[in-house]
Amino acid sequence: MSFSPRVFSGIQPSGDLHLGNYLGAIRRFVPLQATHETIYCVVDMHAITVWQEPEALRRATREVAAAFIAAGIDPKRSIIFNQSQVPQHAELAWVFNCIARIGWMNRMTQFKDKAGKNSENVSLGLLAYPSLMAADILLYKATQVPVGDDQKQHLELTRDIAAKFNNDYAASIKEQGLGTEEGQFFPITDPLIAGPATRIMSLRDGTKKMSKSDPSDQSRISLLDDADAIAKKIKKATTDPAELPGDVEGLAGRPEADNLVGIYAALSDKSKQDVLAEFGGSGWGKFKPALAELAVSVLAPMNGEMRRLLDDPATIDAVLRDGAERAGAIAEKTMNEVRSIIGFIR
Ligand code: TYM
C-alpha cells in the first residue's frame, strides 16, 4: 500500500481575499484538478481563532467558495467545502494537540507575529492553530499542499506531527495492518511552493507582505475590486525611479520592481525572466499600464462571476454541503482508523 496522490489546501474566510491569495494559492489550485484528486477547503474554524462577527463570517465563507468557483475550480471534479461541516477536523486536531509539543507551537513565527506582546491574552486556539491545519491535511492523507511561502513553517510542522504519530503508534499501526510497507499511517506531505508569486508584497511597501490585515486598502488588490479600482491601485503602486532591468539579477535590492514583475509573470503564466525579456529597459510609464491592463483582463471577469455567484447564496451553500458530504466520507474512514490505532473503544 502506498499513498495515492491527493492535493489539499485551505483558505481562511477572515476578510477580503486579495491578489496574494489568488496568485499564491487559488490560481495554482486550478491546473492540479487535471492531474490529482483535489480538495479545497474554506477553513472557518481557523478564522475564529481571532474574533469574527457571525454575519461577516458567513459572508466571507461564501466569498471564498465563490472565488474558488469563479477562478475555475469545478465543484464536481474537486471537493469544495467549509471545514466546520466536517467535525472530524476538530476531532483529529485534538489528537494532534496531544502529539505536538507546546514548544513546537511557540516557535511558529505566524503565532509570534499575530500574538505580538499580547501572547497571554490571545485565544488558546491561535496557539493550537497549526495542529488543526495538520489535521485538515492529514485527515485526507494529502500528499501535496499548494500554498504561498508564508505557510512553509506550518507545513514543516505538519510533517513533524505526521512523523511523530507514525512513530509513537508504530506498533499499533503495524498490528492493525494500517500502515504502508514502511509502516507509515500518515504521509509526510510535500509543500508545493513554486512559481513567481509565492510571496506577493504590499503595493505600498515592497518589503511587507500583501495581507488581509494591512490597514491600507491601497496596499492590496481585492478580488472584489472593479476594473477601475484595480487599474488605479497598480498605477499608484510605489516604485523606484530606475527603469526595468533586462534580467532577474537586476531585480536584487529592488523589492517593488521585483514584486510588480512577479505579479505580471504570474498573471500571464510566464517566468520573471520572460517578462524582463519583453520589458527590460522600459520605464514605469510603459510597464504599469501594461500590468494594469493584464490584471484587469484576468481579474475583472472573475470579479463579475464572483458577484453573480454571491447573489445566489443558496447555490453556494449547496455546493459546500455536497462537498462536505464527500469530504466527510473520506474523513470518517481515516478517523475510524485513528481511533482504533490510539486504543479508543468503539
Ligand atoms: P490564508 O487564508 O492566510 O491564505 C490563503 C493562501 O494564500 C496564500 N497567501 C499568499 N500567497 C502569496 N502572497 C501573499 N501575499 C499571500 N498571502 C496569503 C497563503 O500562503 C495561503 O496559501 N493557514 C492557512 C490556511 C489553512 C491551510 C490549511 C492551508 C488552514 N488549513 C491546510 C493549506 C492546508 C492560512 O491562513 O492561509
Protein residue with its CA nearest to atom 14 in ligand 1: 20
152 and 248 both lie in a single domain: no
pLDDT given for residue 15 in this prediction: 85
106 and 245 both lie in a single domain: no
Whole-number percent of the chain with pLDDT over 70: 100
CA of 43 to the centre of ligand 1 (A): 10
Mean pLDDT of 48-55: 97
Range of the domain at 105: 6-198+313-342
329 and 291 both lie in a single domain: no
CA of 10 to the centre of ligand 1 (A): 7
Whole-number percent of the chain with pLDDT over 90: 96
| pLDDT value at 327 more than 90 | yes
Per-residue pLDDT tens for 173-228? Answer: 999 999 999 999 999 999 999 999 999 999 999 999 999 889 999 999 999 999 99
pLDDT given for residue 213 in this prediction: 87
| pLDDT value at 1 more than 70 | no
| pLDDT value at 331 more than 80 | yes
CA contacts within 13 A on the Cβ side of 121? 3
CA of 110 to the centre of ligand 1 (A): 11
For residues 122 and 111, give the distance between their C-alpha atoms in angstroms, rounded to a whole number: 10
323 and 289 both lie in a single domain: no
Residue 149, C-beta contacts closer than 8 angstroms, at least 6 positions apart = 24, 193, 198, 199
Protein residue with its CA nearest to atom 34 in ligand 1: 9
Per-residue pLDDT tens for 260-306? Answer: 999 999 999 999 999 999 999 999 999 999 999 999 999 999 999 99
Domain CATH number, residue 170: 3.40.50.620
For residues 181 and 175, give the distance between their C-alpha atoms in angstroms, rounded to a whole number: 13
Protein residue with its CA nearest to atom 18 in ligand 1: 21
Closest alpha carbon to 288 in 246, 234, 241: 234
In a domain, 211, yes or no: no
Q: What is the DSSP string of 248-298?
A: GGGGTT-HHHHHHHHHHHHHTT--HHHHHHHHTT--HHHHHHHHHHHHHHH
In a domain, 322, yes or no: yes
Domain CATH number, residue 277: 1.10.240.10
pLDDT given for residue 234 in this prediction: 97
Q: How many domains is the chain built from?
A: 2
**Residues labelled catalytic:** 114, 209, 212
